[in-house]
Amino acid sequence: MRGNKNHKVEIMAPAGSFESLAAALRAGADSIYFGVGKLNMRAHAAANFLPQDLRKVARLCHSCGARAYLTCNVVVYDEELEEMRQLLTAAKEAGVDAVIAADMAVVRYAREVGLEVHISVQANVSNMEAVRHYAQYADVIVPARELRLEQVRGIVDTVRKENICGPSGKQLRVELFAHGALCIAISGKCGMSLAAHNHSANRGDCYQPCRRRYRVADAETGFEFELDNEYVMSPRDLCTIRVLDRILDAGVGVLKLEGRGRSAAYVATVTSTYREAVRLYESGDWDAREAEALEQNLRRIFNRDFWQGGYYLGEKCGEWAGAAGSHSTEKRDHLGRVRKYYLHPGVAEIKLEADGLKVGDTIEITGVTTGFLRYEVRAMRRDDEQGVTRDVHVAQKGDTVLLALPKKVRRGDRVAKVTERKNP
């Protein structure tokens, strides 16, 4: 099909650590979204930065030509208003480009301090009246996750026809969730975790009871229904690669990739895959075979199997994960760490701590500055018993090997060996 070169598509990638941040930027992200402290939807996870990291995160993004978006998208209580104000003020001073929010207290204060606002999916924007309301405050709006693609297209068409602009004076942009974990909640608003564990999903503290196995039983007789799939509330992950051309044809301007709790390898793979998909679309080279190949690439990393297109195609949420763990076609095991990197020859010295290595193996290297590097070992050297450095085909656990790598890595970077997963 023929792409639209005038339609600039923004790839928005997640970052829950400096490793993931570097990985996303190197993979071609146009923007990064991240959380600080507890006022975001990953409050109980390790996938958050500290207030003192704000300036560094913004600087790293801007140095790569990307924008930095702070998530402050939870329900905020009265006793937290001052904490919220301090966070947003600090974000503005640090050079953060926008805040992603749904609570009107956050939205209004962000406008007070001159911080761009993006309306989160948690606001459940489902119609043009809601769009017009939020356009008073926001430059980007995320429609409700349950809308069909033709409804999203209708919103985009109306925004263009009426030239609806945000506070910046620029025409409102529409963002859509493109890839990652789905739940059974309406646009992320769920009370199940609160009811079962007294930990609210709407406060970024979901215990994910929907991801567990369940049986249906008669409370009086004890009779149980036999279910084909015990994971009856855990949807497969959303994957829009096969319908990405239809999403972009609808005028969507921002593609959000989920995964602030995922590894740098996950972030790099998903970001680079959707970056390539958009490139193919814009160049007019998009076709079904390309889409299938890109989807297979996404299956290498963590996934609960894929629901292609999801609600956007008007389908019911009947695609369940079927398992608690990952359906990825590959697994990653710790191999060792980088001990030194010799800049001019471009060679890394790696200590094999957990397993052996041979020519032909695939490794992945992650680090705070390095981000993510995937490499198939083509040649390897190590010292023999006399201290002479020689080419080797196989190295054992405990050995230190030298690898010529295509880009710079750093001392202390983690090295994993990638192998095919049996029965993914």
Q: What percent of the chain has pLDDT over 70?
A: 83
Task: Check if the beta carbon of residue 379 is closer than 8 Å to that of residue 391.
Answer: yes
Q: pLDDT value at position 2?
A: 45
Model confidence at 46, in pLDDT bands (50, 70, 90)? Answer: low
Exposed/middle/buried for residue 80 (C-beta within 10 Å: 0-12, 13-18, 19+): middle
Q: For 360-366, what is the mean pLDDT?
A: 95
Q: What is the DSSP string of 173-221?
A: EEEEEEEE---SSBTTB--HHHHHHS--GGGT----GGGS---EE-TTT
Task: Check if the beta carbon of residue 95 is closer than 8 Å to that of residue 58.
Answer: yes
Model confidence at 1, in pLDDT bands (50, 70, 90)? Answer: very low
Domains, the chain = 10-182+234-313 (3.20.20.70), 330-420 (2.40.30.10)
Q: pLDDT value at position 261?
A: 85
Residue 236 to residue 135: CA distance in whole angstroms: 33
Model confidence at 104, in pLDDT bands (50, 70, 90)? Answer: very high
Q: pLDDT value at position 418?
A: 95
Task: Check if the beta carbon of residue 161 is closer than 8 Å to that of residue 237.
Answer: no
Beta bridge partners of 382: 390
Residue scoring higher pLDDT (77 or 202): 77
Q: What is the DSSP string of 321-369?
A: --SSS---SEEEEEEEEEEEEETTTTEEEEEE-SS-EETT-EEEEEETT
Q: For 73-94, what is the mean pLDDT?
A: 95
Q: pLDDT value at position 37?
A: 87
Highest mean pLDDT among 5-19, 223-237, 275-289, 305-319: 275-289
Q: For 122-128, what is the mean pLDDT?
A: 93
Task: Check if the beta carbon of residue 110 is closer than 8 Å to that of residue 139.
Answer: no
When mean pLDDT is compared across 208-217, 296-305, 394-403, the lowest value belongs to 208-217
Q: Say if residue 44's pLDDT is above 80.
A: no
Six token digits for residue 102? 């749904």
Six token digits for residue 131? 């769009």
Exposed/middle/buried for residue 395 (C-beta within 10 Å: 0-12, 13-18, 19+): buried
Question: For the chain, how long is the longest CA-to-CA vector?
Answer: 78
Q: pLDDT value at position 423?
A: 61
Six token digits for residue 44? 């109980």
Task: Check if the beta carbon of residue 260 is closer than 8 Å to that of residue 29.
Answer: no
Q: Say if residue 256's pLDDT is above 90.
A: yes
When mean pLDDT is compared across 10-14, 149-153, 196-200, the lowest value belongs to 196-200
- Tell me what the pLDDT averaged over the chain comes to: 87
Question: How many residues would you count in the chain?
Answer: 424
When mean pLDDT is compared across 5-19, 157-171, 210-224, 405-419, the lowest value belongs to 210-224
Q: pLDDT value at position 211?
A: 65
Q: How many CB atoms lie within 10 A of CB 186?
A: 14
Model confidence at 273, in pLDDT bands (50, 70, 90)? Answer: very high
Q: pLDDT value at position 164?
A: 98
When mean pLDDT is compared across 54-58, 87-91, 262-266, the lowest value belongs to 262-266
Q: Say if residue 232's pLDDT is above 50.
A: yes
Beta bridge partners of 417: 333, 363
Q: pLDDT value at position 47?
A: 62
Q: pLDDT value at position 422?
A: 74
pLDDT, tens digit (0-9, with 9 covering 90-100), for 307-357: 887 778 876 655 666 666 677 888 899 999 999 999 989 999 999 999 999
